[in-house]
Amino acid sequence: MKHRHEYFRIRKLSRRWDRQTGKFTIDIRYKTRTEITPRTIGVAEAFGLGVDDYKEHVIYDNITIKIGPTDIVYITGESGSGKSVLLKAVEKDLGDEAINIESIKPDHDEPIIETVGRSLEEGLEILSRVGLNDAFLFVRHYNQLSDGQKYRYRIAKLIESGKQYWIMDELCASLDRDMAKIVAFNLQKQARRMSKAVIAATTHTDLFEDLAPSVHIHKGWGKRLEVKYCPNKLNSVCSVTRDLHIEEGTLEDYKQLAEFHYRNPATHPIPIKIFALKRDDGSPVGVIMYTYPPINIFGRKEALGRTLPIGEANEKIATISRVILHPKYRSVGLGERLVRETLPLVDRSYVEVMAVMAQYNPFFERAEMRKVTERTADTSILEAVKMLEDLGFKRYLLSSTQANLNHLRTLGEPELEKVREALLQVSSGYYKRLRSAHEPFVKKKEFGEWISKIPLEGLAKVISRLAVLSQKKVYLFWDKGREKFND
């Protein structure tokens, strides 16, 4: 004889969504009945329960919640109270207009820069917006990221999707609480700047300040429910940054964070001043290094309207050579803060910076530095890069000597000769920099003989120097006198 086990039964599940008003009306109830076993009968007899009776549980009692296409919705409540039930009901009504962060299936076989955006430039821009703005991170695979970085990556995919509603259950539940607050802060910042909606549920109530929800739903046990509507305003300050302070720093502060910069941490220009962004315990989470200006740099004459002698340049100009943030503290405006608050403290009339990432993350401009000009690489350099790509090199990996060496070792002698030909066809004015030579000029014949003799390790370094020359760079400028005038 076949037995039926009917211990749970949905009595009513209904929902309505008025697209015009944004109102969701939800009614969810279910019934349960005790499973009949010798022990449950014993419990029923001891407490006077009817084992054959169904008990009704009301989760949502015909409730109405208004959610607009740009709202930030924060659903809180204890586990089992019905948060996920509400989230799933809303998501089902939204249909193709919504994307659930759990539906994102990361590609584990490619570097993350290959998996975001329709182009390299778009990928860099999106990843930078979520705090994955690091040359080393761009070339890592998803499974090589930390939990916090994986969460940021998934938010990047939400941005890329173009969907209007971002659905997130157990928001930041797996992250430490400081990281959770940083991610929540950046989530609302990106959504609000893009006019998107976030609908997120979690047992944690400590994200309210950073998420700054316009709709807060707290789900209690049974049918208890509280809904509050707040102004839908961008939160511009992350709570984690409130106790950070900037002070004049040391080389030791720089060394503690140098590993997070894509340039060689063992070398750096001679500093004029270093400033550190520190926690109350004295540990640095950010550092900015101001150094003496190079003799020549594109954009300076355009910014000043004249050419400065080297002595006057050293006296009046400082160059920003490094801005480094600990990966945990990215995407919350600290780069902008480091620049803005330290510019007046350098004791120089002018400050300049030439940066690649300024194309994708304009924090220098937000810190009130003026974008003067951009420099695109020489055509011969770009053609050399294209020839290397045709030989299997990845453009975004060219700056890595080790990655270049690994690929060179896979090539036969005919392909290696084509690599040398690509480097040799670069305009001769760049041979000195590719060779890293001290001679004032390197002739084509001399350069060709040199690259034909150097080992693969040396050839890999030359390719990495080519990568630096191929980068599009932005020159920005700050004038202390103009800053005072504007005040």
Q: Over the stretch 236-277, which tens digit does the pLDDT of each residue have?
A: 999 999 999 999 999 999 999 998 887 656 667 899 999 999
d(CA 428, CA 447): 9
Q: What is the DSSP letter of 329?
A: G
* 368-400 residue pLDDT tens: 999 999 988 999 999 999 999 999 998 878 888
SS3 274: strand
- Domain check: are 383 and 446 in the same one? yes
Q: What are phi and psi of 355, to 5 degrees?
A: -140, 140
What is the predicted pLDDT for the residue at 484?
42
Give the whole-angstrom CA distance, residue 185 versus residue 1: 59
Here the CATH number for the domain that contains residue 247 is 3.40.630.30
* 34, 49, 64 - which closes a domain: 64
Residue 313 placed within a domain: yes
**Domain shared by 232 and 146, yes or no:** yes
Pairing type for strands 165-169 and 197-202 reads: parallel
314 shares its domain with 231: no
Same domain for 106 and 189? yes
Residue 258 near residue 269 (C-beta atoms within 8 A): no
- The predicted model scores a pTM of 0.82
Is 148 contained in some domain? yes
In a domain, 484, yes or no: no
Domain end, chosen from 190, 215, 238, is at 238
SS3 192: helix
Domain boundary among 238, 254, 282: 238
Residues in a beta bridge with 16 = 25
Q: What is the largest CA-CA distance in the chain?
A: 101
Do both 96 and 49 map to the same domain? Answer: no
Residue 369 lies in a domain: no
CA neighbours closer than 13 Å in the CB half-sphere of residue 331 = 31
Side-chain-facing half-sphere of 242: CA atoms under 13 Å: 10
> pLDDT digit of tens for each residue in the chain (487 aa)?
444 444 445 455 566 788 888 899 888 877 665 566 777 667 666 666 665 555 667 778 888 999 999 999 999 999 888 899 899 999 999 999 999 999 999 999 999 999 999 998 899 999 999 999 887 788 899 999 999 999 999 999 999 999 999 999 999 999 999 999 999 999 999 999 999 999 999 999 999 999 999 999 999 887 889 999 999 999 999 999 999 999 999 999 999 999 888 765 666 789 999 999 999 999 999 999 999 999 889 999 999 999 999 999 999 999 999 999 999 999 999 999 999 999 999 999 999 999 888 888 899 999 999 999 998 899 999 999 999 999 999 887 888 888 899 999 999 999 999 999 999 999 998 998 898 766 677 899 999 999 999 999 999 999 999 998 998 899 999 999 874 434 4
- Partner residues linked to 65 by β-bridges: 24
Domain assignment present for 120: yes
Ordered strands of the 317-325 beta sheet: 245-248, 271-278, 284-291, 317-325, 350-355, 473-479, 370-375
Which helix (H) or strand (E) element contains residue 403?
Answer: helix 401-408
Structural domain harbouring 218? 67-238
Rounded to 5 degrees, φ, ψ at 224 are: -65, 130
Do 332 and 343 fall within a single domain? yes
216 found inside a domain: yes
- Whether 476 is in a domain gets the answer no
pLDDT tens profile 55-103:
667 778 888 999 999 999 999 999 888 899 899 999 999 999 999 999 9
Q: How many domains does the chain have?
A: 4
In this structure, the answer to whether residues 88 and 185 fall within a common structural domain is yes
Tokens of 393: 């090199």
**CATH code of residue 198:** 3.40.50.300
The reply to whether 110 falls in a domain is yes
Q: Which residue has the tokens 């000769």?
A: 417
Same domain, 196 and 109: yes
CB 201 within 8 A of CB 75: yes
88 and 165 fall within a common domain = yes
Can you name the residues that pair with 384 across neighbouring β-strands?
Answer: none
User: Is the same domain home to 311 and 212?
Assistant: no
Same domain? For 321 and 332 the reply is yes
Domain identity same for 285 and 388: no
- Whole-angstrom CA distances from 331 to 208, 234, 255 are 18, 15, 22
